[in-house]
Structure 1
Amino acid sequence: MRGQARSNLLLLMTAIIWGSAFIAQSKGADVIGPFTFNTVRYALAVVALLPVIYIFSRKRNSENTVDQDIPRANGTKTLIIGGIATGIALFTASSLQQYAMAFTTAAKAGFITTLYVILVPIVGIFLKKKIRPIIWFCALLAVIGLYLLSIKPGTFSISRGDFFVLLCALAFTGHILIIDYFSPKTDGVKLSCIQFAVVSIASFVAMMMTETFVLSEVLDAIIPLLYTGVLSSSVGYTCQIIAQKKADPVISSLILSLESVFAAIFGALILHESMSGREITGCAIMFVAIIIAQLPEKKNRRLTDGNIQ
């Protein structure tokens, strides 16, 4: 029980880090372009994650937990292919999100991005994955919430920032499904490190084509870059991996979904963002949809209550 409580605390810390990262992204968007931001951010993430890989590798070697059933060559090939595939998906999602941060609030970005919780099972239908009927109800709630949050009264137009965050949620949906395919087949931390490297390289190429790298501007944004690169990407991801070894998966997803709530809280406290009653209602409806979508079915809930894994 103590171990589970510690895991839940780590997950809560991860949600706080990820939620507050929207503030850092918003600050960074005021100074440098999205591709420049992501080039440096994910390069820092790679550097910060290398010591974690070293520590985890030493621990596995000392415990003799290396899987001997998977040939080294095949394992390396899967790792590289998976890293490139997840990196391309993350590059797409991160670029859309960082671009959108210049045109929307941290609170809106947090709630709309978290829609991937509902979009993942819906898109999974095309991959022949089963979807629970309750997900359709959650999707309807999410659409209502999104309308109240992002669509101006009397119109059917969505702001540029909210539209690109919605595209970002779709891209994160693809990213999660790709990770779902590759993560059981390879080392999760190494996979993450490679995908961060791919995002940094792809962002660098895009930066050279569309933006101008100015060192002084990067230095002006160094705190948001360090926060998102080291804390949000490396520390947050590592805490999630460590915590989910002992935490209940349903509780884990519920705690991590608080990311959107913390984005709104920090947006109000630090950026002095405010929302109308209509927008707050939209956020509340979307949050309810996200929570319901992650609740287990009755059969699974009985198994969880009985501590049956």
Structure 2
Amino acid sequence: MTRIQANLFLLFSGAVWGAGFVAQSTAMDAIGPLWFIGLRFVIATVVAAPLALWETRKARGPMPKSSIRNFIWIGLALFAGATTQQVGLLTTSVTNSGFLTGLYVVFVPMLTVIFLRRKPHWVIWPAAFMATLGIFLLSGGELARLTSGDVLTIVCAMFWAIQLMLVGIFAGSTGRPMALSMTQFAVCAVLGCTAGALFEPLDLTAVANALPEILYAGFFSSGIGFICQVVGQRYTTAPQAAIFLSSEALFAALFGVLLLGETITPLGYVGCAIIFAAMLIVEIIPELMKAKAVAAGA
């Protein structure tokens, strides 16, 4: 897979996550956040299981136990991010949540430098700033006074950044993206359902009322979206992946207009253009510099 194809996978993940943001918001009218997380990831695990089985049959040898342990760590980061985001939506606006979640585009290169001692391509820093600015403008260009939900969503962005960084490390080194996906989904399913059983009442009526949202979030947002993320990240860097995945804010706004009748302000359209420009410079500038270096060495 080429880097361009990998980035298209990541862009597709951003699209299905953006639509999933609508499902996450409306599902809370019927079901608690923990049960929603648990049930959506049960479905995601079922989606990933046959792909992981097929991958195992094609593998040349068994997967090391250390890889399974690493996959579980990724699952814990994913569960922490999903939980803080979903619970945060109880006490913050969709506008604030969309912007604050997108802060992972800044956190990823920071964590990469601090913990991995890897210096991202210089273009990542202006692109991360552009994407953050674009998300801010897309959210309306203003934030209300921070609530507990806002704080949880900032924490969520940090956990998303950790998950992105860990996927970048282990997805390529193990060569088992489907096993990684299934394992992280199973961790979230077990923890979500367990926490839901302990802290949230549940009845079949609530599940039935939230079923369309659970099915979309489970099959598309979790199953397909995160699988595409894991596959795409095998062929690109975590900071670059964060830029493309940040397009979820753009798609969330688009689907909000189409499905919920929301409107995008003129400032929001400027934000869309800035996010798109950030993705373009991340893709184009490294290729131009590579071509220039090859020409100079010829």
Give the TM-score normalised by structure 2.
0.78
Matching residue of 1:66: 60
Q: Is the 8 A contact 1:111 1:283 kept in 2?
A: no
1:1-309 to structure 2, matched below 5 A, reads 13-58=12-57, 60=58, 66=60, 72=62, 75-102=63-90, 103-105=92-94, 109-110=97-98, 112-127=100-115, 128-141=117-130, 144=133, 157-158=145-146, 161-186=149-174, 187-239=176-228, 256-278=245-267, 281=270, 284-285=273-274, 288-289=277-278, 292=281, 296-297=285-286, 301-302=290-291
Q: 1:142 Cα shift?
A: 5.3
Q: 1:120 Cα shift?
A: 0.9
* Mean Cα deviation higher: 138-147 or 258-267: 138-147
- Counterpart CA distance in 2 for 1:207 and 1:144 is 36
- Distance of aligned partners of 1:184 and 1:137 in 2 relative to their CA distance in 1, 3 Å threshold: closer
Q: 1:151 Cα shift?
A: 8.8
Q: Is the 8 A contact 1:118 1:138 kept in 2?
A: no
Q: Is the 8 A contact 2:32 2:200 kept in 1?
A: yes
Instruction: Summarize deviations over 1:191-234 as a string: whole Å, max 9, x none.
Output: 11111111122222322343222221112111111111112222
- Counterpart CA distance in 1 for 2:3 and 2:121 is 27
- Counterpart CA distance in 2 for 1:289 and 1:8 is 13
Q: Is the 8 A contact 2:181 2:227 kept in 1?
A: no
- Distance of aligned partners of 1:195 and 1:36 in 2 relative to their CA distance in 1, 3 Å threshold: same
- Distance of aligned partners of 1:232 and 1:143 in 2 relative to their CA distance in 1, 3 Å threshold: closer
Structure 1 runs not aligned, ≥5 long? none
- Distance of aligned partners of 1:304 and 1:216 in 2 relative to their CA distance in 1, 3 Å threshold: farther
Q: Is the 8 A contact 1:7 1:244 kept in 2?
A: yes
- Distance of aligned partners of 1:14 and 1:177 in 2 relative to their CA distance in 1, 3 Å threshold: closer
Q: Is the 8 A contact 2:135 2:271 kept in 1?
A: yes
Q: Is the 8 A contact 1:117 1:290 kept in 2?
A: no
Does the residue aligned with 2:119 lie in a helix, a strand or coil?
coil
Give the length in aligned residue pairs: 291
- Distance of aligned partners of 1:287 and 1:299 in 2 relative to their CA distance in 1, 3 Å threshold: closer
- Counterpart CA distance in 2 for 1:37 and 1:183 is 27
Whichever residue aligns with residue 28 of structure 2, its letter is: A
Instruction: Summarize deviations over 1:143-200 as a string: whole Å, max 9, x none.
Output: 65566566986x8833555543333221100111122222234322111111111112
Q: Is the 8 A contact 2:74 2:166 kept in 1?
A: yes
- Provide the identity percentage: 31
* Mean Cα deviation higher: 226-235 or 182-191: 182-191
- Counterpart CA distance in 1 for 2:15 and 2:182 is 22
- Distance of aligned partners of 1:12 and 1:150 in 2 relative to their CA distance in 1, 3 Å threshold: closer
After superposition, the CA RMSD in angstroms is 3.9
Q: Is the 8 A contact 1:37 1:225 kept in 2?
A: yes
- Counterpart CA distance in 2 for 1:51 and 1:266 is 30
